[in-house]
Every structure is written in structure tokens, then in C-alpha cells.
Amino acid sequence: MKTATNKTKFIFVTGGVVSSLGKGTIAASIARLLKNSKNKVFLQKIDPYLNVDPGTISPAQHGEVFVTQDGAETDLDIGHYERMTNVELNKYSNITAGKIYSRLIEDERQGKFLGQTVQVIPHLSSSIVNAILGTVEKKDYDYMIVEIGGTVGDIELDPFIEALREIGLLLDKKQVLYIHTVLLPYLPITKELKTKPAQHSTRTLNQQGIHPNFIMCRSSVPIEKELLSKIAFFCNIKKENVFACEDAKSIYHVPLFLENQDIMLKIYNHFKVRKPVAEFKDFNNIISFIDNDKTKKIKIVLVGKYTESSDTYLSICESIKHSGFAAEVNVELKMVNSDSINEENIGEIISSHYGVIIPGGFGDRGIDGKIIAIKHCRENNIPILGICLGMQLMAVEFARNVLNLKNANSTEFDAHTQYPIINILEECDDKKVGHGGTLRLGNFNCEIKSDTQAFKIYNNNNITERHRHRYEFNNDFREQFEDNGLVCSGINTENQLVEILELPKNNFFIGCQFHPEFKSRPNTPSPLFYGLIEIVKKQNHLKE
């Protein structure tokens, strides 16, 4: 088993009472505050499910899959971490039970345990310890923030909590801080917040050998000081270490909300480190953008497949907000299920004042509605951004309705189409290479042609963006497309893959094979989203 590795300090964030408490936002906010004092931080999310990564889980169940620069398919919390801290994370940022178990069983099959009985404790728990401590090995991180997914008390979480307990023993006391996040439910009938579930959850954690140093109390209404003291008393921790964490106006308000309760001083005191000077300018700018009363409103319609929860398209939703901050407009996002779209209602759904986004996706459900939306935007010069599948469908629509290639399609939806406008990438063919983690993933370069809309938007000939796809634009059709006005303005020159398509005759009809949403940050919005928002703002202004 690994022992104390270096001087990296660990902050573990657990959750109790319910899931979806916003532990990720709390972990990211603390990381951001640490980074404001020039500390080198790294973040990690541990998910107790048995999938090796979330790439194979339906977004309707688990939300978006966030892709890191090195091509890992990770939990959406990694996106929160990157956006909040502006630290580029990697495949070590997301560990799942599936990853740990499969490696352990592989080792067992290779005889690495030399006749031992392989057990949850100590073998599984020490694999988890090694995965956490191994991440900081040979790295110079000052702080590593580790968020444990799920809810304390869940059976599947037990080996992970045990690993956190063991790390507390292995490392110096001054190197580990445990933060437990709990919910205080509000009872509208008696108009009070209840603390009992928080007490029980903390007791469960205590029984597993962990005594949290801090408790974060989430609630939908402001929390009285007496209530925090009550929780401190019953959970056996100092009252100044119980924090109120009420619903905030935006996630970007959370770091300062916590800092107003002196969280950093308390963290540094715990680690016996003198509190360094912190720089808040960047962050204050973001907050003032958000708080600034914006008079101008614009509407963006997202035509997607899973529109019940915004988690499915989380990074896109955040990217739109970032661009709205910079363009000083209030962006209202309307999610439309593409299944509900038809030729008759499209005019009502997408007015000429709006901007449209067709996000990425897999599988043929909802494709027809998206194609109808694309056609409507193309014919009426309505600004539209197609992302990954969105770009592929823009190409299919153009082939069918402008090039008159009847039944043109992507081979994802019609393997035998006469006009395979979008084709499978050989090396990603899941029939040959299997399903999990076999897409074209992560950072790839794109060369942008000068004198194109894409060039104006990026103001650069060379960009790098993140990818997650199996299919590509079929170069056999490139000439035919370009002869008819659809320009391939961005190309990956190493593999001759089309990365950006645009229709110069429209104000904004742009598709990208990559996912620009993964690189958007609150104070540096993604150029493509910003470009879209600016065009919509300008068009609305002219129509006023």
C-alpha cells in the first residue's frame, strides 16, 4: 500500500441525507478559493457505480459526459471543477468503482496476490487508497480535493469511506481534512428547517471511523446561527466549523458565500498553514456580470433529445451563460424535444428572433425533428450552431435539400444509404473495437481557413478543441458541398477530417465536429457560443 507520498494536503468531501446536494460545487468552490491564493490544486471525483466510466450511461440517467483534454469520459462534476477553477483536469480526475474493481480482478487473475484470499478489506480498500494517493505521486499539487459521489450509508459507498478512513491514518493529521455535506429539509407547514437527518448521516459517518472536521449545511432557505450551533453540538464538532450553504443565485456565487464565513482561514488553520493573500478580482468580475441588471434579453432554443433535465446538456447551458455574461445579455434558454417538432409547428417553435443550438447525441431517435429545425434555420437565415451530431445533421440536411441527394444520411442511422454523407471512423467502429472508450476522444487540432466566419470568430488559424464521436464527414462529398456553398472552414490536417462547416451566405450557420462547450469558462467564453449570442443580440437590435 502507498504511504504518505508528498506534502499534498487532502480535502475529502462526502455527502449525506440525499444525493444531488451540490457537493461538486462545494468542492470546486473550495478549490477555486485555494487557487485564488496561487495554490496548485487538483480535483478528483470518486463515483461508486460499477460502470468503468460514465461514457456508457444514458445521459437521461446520469447527465452529461464531460470530456477532458486527454480524452477521458468523466462525470459532469469534472466540468464544474474545470469551469470554477480553470484548471485543466485529466483521466485521473474521475475514478469509478468499476475501474477499481476491474483492475483488482485483473490483478487477481494474473496471480498478483500470491495465494491470498482477495477481500473487500483490505484489498479493495487499499486499491482505492492507492488510486487516490497515486494521483499525487510525483506531482507538486499543494491541495487535492476529492469528492465522493453518492450518499453516506449507501452499501456501495462503504469501501470508499473505509479508504478515506485509512488515508487519515496513513497521512499526517495536518494533511487531511474531512468535509461532510448535508441537507436540512424545510417543512413548509411548520416553517422550519430540520436537523435530524444531518445528525443521523454524520453519525453513520462516525460509525465508519470518520469524524468530519467541517459540516456544510445545504438548504433552500437562510439558516439561523442557532441551528448551526445545534448541529455542531449534536455532531460533535466546533460550531465555527459548521457552514451555512443556502441555495445561491448561481454556482459562481458559492466561493464568496463560503469565504464570507471565513472558510479559508479555517482550512488553513486546520492544515497549520498561514493564510496567504488571495486575489478575487477575476471572480468579482464574473459575479458583477451575473448581478448586473441586463436590459437586453435574447432567446436560444436548444433542440435536443433529453430535455427533461438540464444536466444532460450542462456544459452547453453553462457556455450559453458565460457568453451571456460577456455579451451583457440575459439569455433565456428554451429546451425543445426534437420528437415534438414537425413541418407544421417549426415556425411557432423557432421564431426569427431566436438563435438555435443542435447539441451532440447518439442514436436515431429525434433525428427528423432536428433536421426540420436545421432546414428552417437555413432557409430563414436564423443563427444556428450545430455541435457534433448537430454538425453531422446539418451536412445531411444540406445534402438532402440543397444537393438533392435523396435519402442521404449518416451510416449511424442508415448503414446502407446510397449517400453516406457521414461515415464511421474506421478506428472507432464499435462492432470491431468494442463499445466503451473507443470513440475519437479529447483534444485534436483544427486548422481554420482565413476569410471564413470561423476565422473571424476564433481570430486564429489554429485551434484545439475536445471531441467525442465515432462518425465523421465523408470527404468524398466535400467538393460537391463546397461547389454548392457549404464551406469546410476547419480541417484536422493530420487526418483530413472536417472539423467545421459553415454557410457563408447565412449570418450564422455553423457546425463543428468538436464540443466547444467543454472549454468555455465564465470569464473566457467559448468563441462559437459567444459568436452565436452576439449575432442574435445584433439581429434583435436591428429588428427592434
Nearer to ligand GLN, 264 or 389 (CB): 389
Closest contact distance (angstroms) between CB of 59 and ligand GLN is 10
In order of 46, 130, 461, the CA distances from 103 in angstroms are 15, 12, 42
Known active-site residue 515: yes
3-state DSSP of 140-180: CCCEEEEEECCCCCCHHHHHHHHHHHHHHHHCCHHHEEEEE
The residue sitting closest to ligand GLN, measured at its beta carbon, is: 360
Kindly name the residue from 377, 388, 446, 512 that is annotated as catalytic: 388
Hey, which residues does 304 pair with through a beta bridge? 337
Q: Which is nearer to ligand GLN, 218 or 515 (CB)?
A: 515
User: Which residues are registered as beta bridge partners of 531?
Assistant: none
CB 182 within 8 A of CB 149: no
**Which residue, 41 or 65, has its beta carbon nearer to ligand GLN?**
65
Question: Which is the catalytic residue, given 166, 317, 515, 534?
Answer: 515
- What DSSP assignment string belongs to 275-321? PPP---HHHHHHHHHHHS----EEEEEEEES--S-GGGGHHHHHHHH
What is the edge-to-edge ordering of all strands in the sheet holding 487-492?
330-337, 297-304, 355-358, 384-387, 509-512, 497-502, 487-492, 440-448, 462-469
Cis peptide before 212 (omega within 30 of 0): no
**Measured between alpha carbons, how far is 366 from 206 in angstroms, rounded to an integer?**
48
Q: Which is nearer to ligand GLN, 149 or 360 (CB)?
A: 360
Question: Shortest approach of ligand GLN to residue 469 CB, angstroms?
Answer: 3
Grid coordinates given for 379:
432557409
Q: What are phi and psi of 485, to 5 degrees?
A: 105, -5
Tell the smallest beta-carbon distance from residue 384 to ligand GLN (Å): 15
Cβ 480 to ligand GLN shortest distance, Å: 21
Residue 148 vs 424, nearer CB to ligand GLN: 424
Q: Which three cell numbers stand for residue 280?
A: 478575487
Nearer to ligand GLN by Cβ, of 389 and 457: the residue is 389
Extract the C-alpha cell encoding 526. 467559448
Report how far residue 309's alpha carbon sits from residue 324's, in angstroms, rounded to the nearest whole number.
21
User: Shortest approach of ligand GLN to residue 465 CB, angstroms?
Assistant: 12
Nearest approach, Cβ of 285 to ligand GLN (angstroms)? 32
Concerning whether 517 is annotated as a catalytic residue, the answer is yes
Query: Longest C-alpha distance within the chain, in Å?
Result: 78
Q: Which residues in this chain contact ligand GLN in the complex, by CB under 6 A?
A: 360-362, 388-389, 412, 468-471
Element (H, E) at 215: strand 214-219
Q: Closest approach of Cβ 222 to ligand GLN, in Å?
A: 41
Catalytic residue among 166, 465, 517, 534: 517
Helix-helix angle 263-270:23-36, to 10 degrees = 80
The verdict on whether 279 is a catalytic residue reads no
Could you count the other beta carbons within 10 Å of the beta carbon of residue 493?
Answer: 11
Cβ proximity to ligand GLN, 209 vs 363, nearer residue: 363
Tell me how far apart the alpha carbons of residues 519 and 501 are, in angstroms, rounded to a whole number. Answer: 19
How buried is residue 76: exposed, middle or buried, by Cβ count under 10 Å (0-12/13-18/19+)? buried
Up-side HSE of residue 17: CA atoms within 13 Å toward CB?
Answer: 23
Which residue type, as a one-letter code, is found at position 372? I
As measured in angstroms, the least distance from the Cβ of 477 to ligand GLN is 16
For the chain, the helix, strand and coil percentages under 3-state DSSP, each to the nearest 5:
45, 20, 35
Q: Which residue, 180 or 370, is less far from ligand GLN as judged by CB?
A: 370
Catalytic residue IDs: 388, 515, 517
